[in-house]
Structure 1
Amino acid sequence: MIQRTALWFGAWLGLLTSPALFASTPHASPHFDRSSDTVAVSIPARADWRTDVGAYAQRLVDAGFFPGTQIAVTRGDKVVYAASFGMADSRSGRKVDNRTRFYIASTTKALTATAVMREVARGAMRLDAPITDYLHGLRFKPPLRADTVTIRSLLSMTDGFGACMPVVFRTAFSGVFTQAQLMRLMRDCGRSKAGHAFVYRNFPYNLLGMALAPGVNHGWKAVVRADVLKPLGMRETTARVSTLPTEQVAMPHEADGHGFRRIRLAKADANLHAAGGYFTTARDLAKFVAVNAADGRLGGRRIFPVGMIASMHVEHARQDRDFGPYHRFGWGYGWDLGTYAGHTLVHRFGAFAGYRSHVSFMPDTGVGVVVLTNGVGVPHAADEMADYIYDRLGAPRKQARAEHDAQFRLLQQRKAKFDRALRAHQRVQRSRDAHPLPHPLRAYAGRYVNPLLGTMRWTESGDHLDVSIGEARSKAGIYDAARNALRVELTGGGEVVHFHFADHARFANSLTYHGYRFDRVKPSATR
């Protein structure tokens, strides 16, 4: 959900995570391991641009821009570089290697869109078919009609729906749902204030995932694997994190104003969804980039029908906004269309607590880049790494070095400002925590239920409260003690929960979260 300029500190405090000042030795592989890669591309051990790319990546890690990273580069239909740098887990000191998996969040949308287009190419789905052809009995809040929503409008995010918070919360955060339950929840999904103009959201791709496998909870995972991952030999990519040993996962980290600290891995099988569902490696994801840059070919083999992939990079909806160094002018199917340094950049990024992914390619040069990180010390550091690669390959070496020395200094300045904002936020939170709540902690503890979002559990834990709703969990801090308001991070960013007490009541009878009222379940009702 996992979507900002470098100075928007408030949005990044909770949603994007950051680095520590750990230096490490780069783990670059001069050749791919043929036992684990379908496309084995020989990478010369001594090549100036590769040496420079590795040196710049190490420089960013050493500067504390992110704790660990993987990088891959493609040219045409081949993967030509893959390397790893920094820490996968700051607690254990485990380093990132080329097999370490990173969560890629909303980059997943490009994979889901490809599976849909593969089904369209087979004739199993039709772009202009209503979604009700695949999800029978689907209804939305009047006057919206499900039978007017097409597969095409969902791919292009011009479907006309609002955010549909209950569906998005359950699929991306709590993980508590069945497909039938989601269908019922959609009866409360209303129209977008923007009408049928493009609005970036998770919901359309959640719906597409359901359409890929009607009636099967998480069934889209099998379809994407069969249609996309298996044909590309992407054996290091999974939507089931439970299958990965802990030592193969890049653990998420969060900036704390002094470096970074490891945070809880908030993703499990249940909340890996069709709009943000994969753990992968840069070298595996680079195969997907290469097949996109080459319109369906990979390593000399045709994987997808001619024109299928290229049709996803056409402007299907208009945008007009900046994202860091890029201007986004359009949306394809699962991809943003933008510009960088006079080139069109087809890209799809992802961000979630503790992770950031940059996946992009330039159609006119055939060059593609993957940058994966497990924390963010300054917004857009991952994009700076990608930009350096594009400029190093496309400009004289001295020119690229001079330009990015200046960008590096600018990022250092922004990081210093970002760190100051984080430390100020921490001081504010400590001040708030120093004011006791009007009631003892047990007065807030208990189960609270909302029919749309589910059951929220509040428990005492020493001198504070912990909250959980399915896989979404957080320690609670004080936001406004006098108003019984607590601060939580159930979705990766700061959120306020207000507890409500009847006159002279010993226990809270309800709470409000994101505008939704949760009623407390009396203890006697749980026995």
Structure 2
Amino acid sequence: MVLPVAASAQDRAALGPALDSFIEKAMDRLEVVPGLSIAVVDAQGRVHSAGFGVADVESAEPVTPDTPFYIASSTKSFTALALAAMDRRGELDLDAPLSSWSGGSPVPVELAASASLSDLLSHQSGLTSDPIAFRVAFSGEWTPDELWRLTAETRANADAPHGWFQYTNAGYNLATVLVERRWGRDWRTLVEGEVLAPLGMTATTAHIDALRSAGTSIAIGHFGGLTGPTQRSGLQKSDTTMQSAGGLMSTANDLALWLEAQLTDGVVDGRRVFPEGLIASTHVSRVEQVGRSGPYTRHGYGLGWHLGRYGDDRMIHHFGGFSGSRAHVSFMPARRLGVAVLINEDLLAGDLADLAANYVYDWFAATPDLESVYDARIDALVAQRDQRRAGVISGREDRARRPRTLSLPDEAYTGVYISALGTLSVRTSTDGLELSIGALRAVAENFTLPESVRVELIPWQGMPAQFEVSEGLPVAVTLAGYRFVRQ
């Protein structure tokens, strides 16, 4: 089928009612998704935007196309474009070794000489920097000077050497820590000045605390209830955990501007915002990958963008997810069509974000029997919801049957333990042992290793914490591959 480069006027006008009806039907049948916001864009600009449901089950404030949602890893394309703009002006060289400009950096010399900013931004640097990535995205336990010192913890990635694709947050975090020290601009200032302000994305920000202080209605991350109603996630973002690999709040209407710029190589509403070729340069593959995400195949990664396909169509995209929030941002260059979907549930039915986007692409492709096809896909998503719910409940029941492997009373393990990941506090509570690192906090469950417990410091991501006991006293605990020493 030969597709037009832009939707016809009739198609553009007809999409909204059909799309709204589909989303309302899907949300009604899934039952667990509090709210969703969507924007559809073609080369002429915004085709349709809408909001559905509520931003927060407790406040019941309605979602609109101007409700800010956390877009998580969809932030990466903004950070990468900001650095690409500096490269275009000759202020930095994306392809130069880190060692050529990050003088005095604690990064081991041989590693700084082996990788560039381009490598870090395209996930092929061969480096890891877990302490920085953990602190800025999860615990919030950091200062700029501390992050600079922690660049010394950069290590070679044995699982993915230089030139091999492995998706992580660490590359973006390391890149922006080094850039901030060299050029004096933190990633927030950089993205705002290079991308958000020029595009007029006034509702997009890394400062979530300011939104709350101003009383702005923001979408809260939620998890579909296992035995009851959908509830707020216990882990929400703050300024200290908004970071260059995942740290923007945005709206459907703002993302419409972003997508228009992607489709037109930087022209928005007839105005050239970015130099010709700048945005297009971020769509060029820097490294091969072989993978898929749901119905989408992936064959490469550019600067902040996955390159792949949906069916026969080339689709450039970046998704994001964190603790009850889910974002889908994608566009098809040949069809001059893009979609952004923001959703505030991501345990049982976060895939609705992809389904809504696919409906748009298939609607404009004139897919036969579209409504019947998508009724069946909603049925499949409902079945997946039930399967996931049953799996989570079964897992909890299985873990509840585990015997205790700690040899000492709970009180013996309490105290403060320190590693490069941060400060781990262990205390007793009415529910049992509680472990916390900065903003992260979890009650321990029994685990299978000697002297161990299982904790979900990050919701639904359980990990073992194994204590080291010497002469009848705990002296250390290993968590996430790091040894925390008792103080």
What TM-score comes out, normalization by structure 1 length? 0.83
**C-alpha displacement of 1:448:** 1.1
CA distance in 1, matches of 2:453, 2:441: 11
Q: Distance in 1 between matches of 2:254 and 2:57?
A: 24
Q: How does 1:244-393 map to 2 (within 5 A)?
A: 244-245=211-212, 248-258=217-227, 259-376=229-346, 377-378=348-349, 380-393=351-364
In the TM superposition, residue 59 of structure 1 has moved relative to its aligned partner by: 1.9
What is the aligned partner in structure 2 of residue 461 from structure 1? 429
Residue 119, structure 1, aligned to residue 90, structure 2: no
The offset of 1:211, in angstroms, is: 4.1
Matched residue, 2:43: 76
Correspondence for 1:154: 120
Equivalent residue, structure 2, for 1:516: 482
Report the equivalent of 1:40. none
Q: 1:412 to 1:310 in 2, by over 3 A?
A: same
CA distance in 2, matches of 1:140, 1:92: 46
Report SS of the residue matched to 2:55.
strand
Residues 365-374 or 417-426, more deviating:
417-426
SS of corresponding position for 1:95: coil
2:32–2:224 contact (8 Å) kept in structure 1: no
CA shift in 2, pair 1:199/1:481, >3 Å: closer
**Structure 1 residues 221, 441: closer, same or farther in 2, change over 3 A?**
same
The aligned amino acid for 1:496 is P
1:242 is matched with which residue?
209
Change (3 A) 1:379 1:244: closer
- Note the C-alpha offset of 1:215: 5.7
* 1:185 alignment counterpart: 150
Gaps of 5+ in 1: 1-42, 522-527
Counterpart AA for 2:150: L
Which of 399-408 and 225-234 deviates more?
A: 399-408
Deviations 1:457-512 (A, max 9, x none): 223332323332222x222131238834222222341111122333444xx33211
1:399 pairs with 2:369: yes
Whole-Å separation in 2 of the counterparts to 1:456 and 1:102: 30
- What SS does structure 2 have at the residue aligned with 1:145? helix
Q: Distance in 2 between matches of 1:325 and 1:304?
A: 32
Which residue of 2 is the match for residue 20 of structure 1? Answer: none
State the SS of the aligned residue for 1:309.
Answer: helix
1:33-59 residue CA offsets vs partner (Å, 9 max, x unmatched):
xxxxxxxxxx99x94321111111112
Contact 2:405 2:452 in 1 (8 A): no
**Percentage identity across paired residues of the two chains:** 35
- The more displaced of 326-335 and 217-226 is 217-226
* Structure 2 residue matching 1:177: 3-state secondary structure: coil
Question: Does residue 114 of structure 2 align to residue 145 of structure 1?
Answer: no
Q: Is contact 1:479–1:496 with CA below 8 Å preserved after alignment?
A: no
User: 1:141 Cα shift?
Assistant: 4.4
Pairwise CA distance, 1:515: 2.2
Tell me how far apart the structure 2 counterparts of residues 461 and 89 of structure 1 sit (CA, whole Å). 29
> Alpha-carbon deviations, 1:320-361, whole Å to 9, x = none?
111100000111110000101211000000111111110000
Distance 1:68-1:429 versus aligned 2 partners, 3 A rule: farther
Q: Confirm or deny that 1:449 pairs with 2:422.
A: no
Structure 2 SS opposite 1:405: helix
Q: 1:355 to 1:216 in 2, by over 3 A?
A: farther
Asked if 1 retains the 8 angstrom alpha-carbon contact of 2:129 and 2:171, the reply is no
Structure 1's 132 and 92: CA in aligned 2 closer, same or farther, altered over 3 A? same
- One-letter code of the match for 1:252? G
- Find the counterpart in structure 1 of residue 4 from structure 2: none
Residues 60, 66 of structure 1: 8 Å contact kept: no
For residue 512 of structure 1, what is the amino acid of its counterpart? Answer: T
Q: Secondary structure at the match of 1:348?
A: strand
Cα distance in 2, alignment partners of residues 55 and 422 from structure 1 = 31
**Letter in structure 1 aligned against 2:381:** L
Query: Letter of the aligned partner of 1:52 in structure 2?
Result: A
Distance verdict in 2 for CA 1:242–1:335, change over 3 Å: same
Shift of 1:168: 1.1
Question: How many Å separate the matches in 1 of 2:475 and 2:464?
Answer: 17
Distance 1:59 1:100 in 2: 21
Question: Which whole-Å CA distance do the structure 1 matches of 2:111 and 2:437 have between them?
Answer: 31
Structure 2 counterparts to residues 55-66 of structure 1, below 5 A = 55-62=21-28, 63-64=30-31, 66=33
Residues 387-414 of structure 1, C-alpha deviations (whole Å, 9 max, x = no match): 0111112215x53212212222222222
2:66 to 63, 88, 99: 99
Q: What displacement does 1:293 show?
A: 1.1
Deviations along 1:136-188, one digit per CA (max 9) or x if unpaired, are 2224447x331332222223222221x32112111211222234433433333
**Residues 488 and 494 of structure 1 are in contact (CA less than 8 Å); yes or no, is this contact kept in structure 2?**
yes
Where do 5+ consecutive residues of structure 2 fail to align?
Answer: 1-8
Task: Kindly provide the CA deviation profile for residues 346-388 of structure 1, in whole angstroms up to 9, marking residues without a partner as x.
Answer: 0000111111110000001111100111112235221111101
| Secondary structure of residue in 2 paired with 1:322 | strand
Q: Count how many residue pairs are aligned between Structure 1 and Structure 2.
A: 470
SS of the aligned residue for 2:124 comes to coil
Distance 1:340 1:108, change over 3 A: same
Q: Is the 8 A contact 1:360 1:369 kept in 2?
A: yes
- Is this contact kept in 2: 1:448–1:519, CA < 8 A? yes
Residues 433-475 of structure 1, C-alpha deviation per residue, up to 9 Å, x if partnerless? Answer: x96965443222221111x11211223332323332222x222
Distance 1:458 1:218 in 2: 37
Q: 1:509 to 1:211 in 2, by over 3 A?
A: closer
Secondary structure of 1:321's partner? strand
Tell me how far apart the structure 2 counterparts of residues 446 and 217 of structure 1 sit (CA, whole Å): 38
Counterpart of 1:500 (choices 459, 468, 482) is 468
**How far, CA to CA, are the matches of 1:286 and 1:495 in structure 2?**
38
Say whether the 8 Å CA contact 2:400–2:446 is kept in structure 1: no
Runs of 4+ displaced beyond 6 Å: none
User: The residue matched to 1:357 in structure 2 has which SS?
Assistant: strand
Distance 1:201 1:135 in 2: 22
Partner in structure 1 of residue 165 of structure 2: 198
More divergent stretch after superposition (71-80 vs 178-187): 178-187
* Residue 37 (structure 1) aligns with: none
After TM superposition, the structure 1 stretch with the greater mean CA deviation from structure 2, 59-68 or 334-343, is: 59-68
Aligned letter for 1:494? G
Aligned mates of 1:274, 1:221 — CA distance in 2: 8
In terms of mean alpha carbon deviation, does 83-92 or 175-184 score higher? 175-184
Q: 2:179, 2:185 within 8 Å by CA — same for their partners in 1? A: no
Q: Secondary structure of 1:81's match?
A: strand
